[in-house]
Chains A and B, each alone.
Chain A
Amino acid sequence: MTSVRVFFVGGLMSYRAMFGWLNPWILIPSLIVSPICQILLFAYIGRSAGVRDDEFYVIGNALNYAAIPCLFAMSSTIEGERQGHTLGIVLTTPARRIPLFLGRALPVIVNGWGVAVVGVVAGVLLLDAHIPGSAWPALLLVVLVTSASCTGLGLAMGAVVLRVREGATFGNVVFCVLLVFCGVNVALEDLPGWMAAVGTWLPLTHGIEAGRLLADGSTLGGVGGLVFREIGVGALYTAAGLALLGYFERDSRRRATLDRV
């Protein structure tokens, strides 16, 4: 029961604290204006280059932006605890680590899903993109899976932030890697072979591909393989994240570096 409370209540409180009590002055520019502008930017680049249609860029960039809250929220909760001098207190509690950290991931997944959906809807309304009504339920599910998978990577990043102090810089670097390697704006078959190979081991790649196929009329069954691969990649990063959290927590205690800013 305590673990369930830690999972839900702890996660929600941590999420609200991260945004300075859900301040709209941060939320609107960061998670609504920016994703829409990124979608517009690449859709117009695509038009200018004569490569692909608007729908391609709407799906790719909306899902790519879901990675922003998923990556940053997980590392920011740990950095925020450190800056608030509460990280030591959190980690000396007897609370089990899996509900403690996965509880923090849950609102982040929902947030990432929301950001991506806002991006897709705005892209459809503002650009020449058409997604059939029948594709939406499956697309929303794929977005959820992709957000969860990115949060797995975010968890791994959060663990590294126990050691690396520049969480914001690190998060941006990882976001850039996803942008370039995951087929966000260039289909995997058009990327150099080694980049496409790296992309298949990153979250987002399979989710974006599945999303595009759904928007083109595929069924959920038709993209089942891609969805399972996305879940698999996410699970891999989540497991790595939990293992790294354990390792860096023990290491930080040994070196007394937990609160070093």
Chain B
Amino acid sequence: MRQVLHQQAVCYWLQLRVLSTSPFEGFLAVLFPLMFATAALLVYSVNGDPVAMQYAGLGAAIMGMWTCQGVVASSLLTRERWAGTLELLVAAPTPLSRILVPITMAMSTIGLYCVVATMLWQSWVFDLRLEIESWPLFVLSVLMAAVTLAQVGFFLSVTAVRYRTSWALGAALEYPGWLLCGFLIPVDLLPVWIQPLSWAIPTTWAMDAIRSAADGGSPWGSLAVCAATGAVYAVLAAYLGKRLVDSARRNASLALT
């Protein structure tokens, strides 16, 4: 157990340092959603409705977490492939899932930077101070969003193992995530047929919990569903990861050359 925790901590810390110093995965992962949040807040500020600004401000603060995970996680294994380290990771005695989880947790940590940066930006540029009724529950909900997003990232990373240009897939997931997870648009406003897809993403529940915590309501129900859906992604990812990697090894297609 101690060895596992040590491996998780070392892997997490190394990856966090790699991501933090990468202009694309660190700097841009914060700046890109920040600029989209700015564009969205500019739209909301046209009418100047303080309730709507509060709504948009909360969502804008959280939407960067999706970018940090969705885009980078999809191309996680492709990045290792380009670096020539994928075979080494797969051949290592440590199971691949135990390597991927701390990496996606490091990505979620970059997402937390993004939350703080956007909240400060909103305060400086838009003079928008988010009204949070319960800070402990708000922080708990944000952390739950980070953990469950890491589980979604784990799922994305293993399912894209055979997709040579998975970075393009990850980039294409950015806007659908922003659209579906209720960051800037209430899920009820979306077409009815697409709403079940929204509720199948743990981040939608996390966002619901974050809004409840900010409004003074109880986020516990949403947090429970968020944790449950996140766990489903993690279990699926662990199962699929083993199957897909075994298949890639059997067919000698891991390198995709």
Q: Which residues of A contact B (CB under 8 A)?
A: 20, 23, 25-26, 29-30, 33-34, 37-38, 40-42, 44-51, 166, 168-169, 172-173, 176-177, 179-180, 184-186, 190-191
Binds A, one of B32-40, B104-112, B151-159, B197-205: B32-40
Closest CB-CB distance, B157 to chain A, in whole Å? 17
In angstroms, Cα B42 to Cα A51, docked, is 10
**CB–CB B23/A169 < 8 A:** yes
Binds A, one of B2-10, B168-176, B213-221: B168-176
Closest 9 CB pairs of A and B: A37-B175, A29-B172, A176-B35, A29-B168, A169-B23, A33-B172, A44-B185, A186-B42, A26-B168
Collect the chain B residues with CB atoms within 8 Å of residue A190's CB: 42, 46
**CB–CB B168/A172 < 8 A:** no
Chain B, 165-185, CB within 8 A of any chain A CB: 165, 168-169, 171-172, 174-176, 178-179, 184-185
**CB–CB B40/A45 < 8 A:** yes
**CB–CB B39/A34 < 8 A:** no
From B164, which residue of chain A is reached at the shortest CB distance?
A25
Give the number of residue pairs across the A-B interface with Cβ within 8 Å.
100
Collect the chain B residues with CB atoms within 8 Å of residue A42's CB: 39-40, 43
From known contacts A25-B163, A45-B184, A51-B46, infer whether A34 and B174 are also in contact, taking CB-CB under 8 Å: yes
Chain B, 50-70, CB within 8 A of any chain A CB: 52, 56
Q: Kindly identify which residue among A37, A168, A176 contacts B176, using a CB–CB cutoff of 8 Å.
A: A37
Q: Classify the interface of chain A: helix, strand, loop or mixed.
A: helix
In angstroms, Cα B47 to Cα A50, docked, is 8
**CB–CB B179/A37 < 8 A:** yes
**CB–CB A172/B28 < 8 A:** yes
**CB–CB B44/A49 < 8 A:** yes
From A29, which residue of chain B is reached at the shortest CB distance?
B172
Query: 1/0 per position for B127-151, CB-CB distance to A under 8 A?
Result: 0000000000000000000000000
21 residue pairs of the A-B complex, CB under 8 angstroms, read A25-B163, A25-B168, A26-B165, A30-B168, A37-B174, A37-B175, A38-B175, A41-B175, A42-B39, A42-B40, A44-B189, A44-B190, A45-B185, A49-B43, A49-B46, A49-B47, A51-B43, A51-B47, A166-B24, A169-B24, A185-B40
Collect the chain A residues with CB atoms within 8 Å of residue B43's CB: 42, 45-46, 49, 51, 185-186
**CB–CB A185/B42 < 8 A:** yes
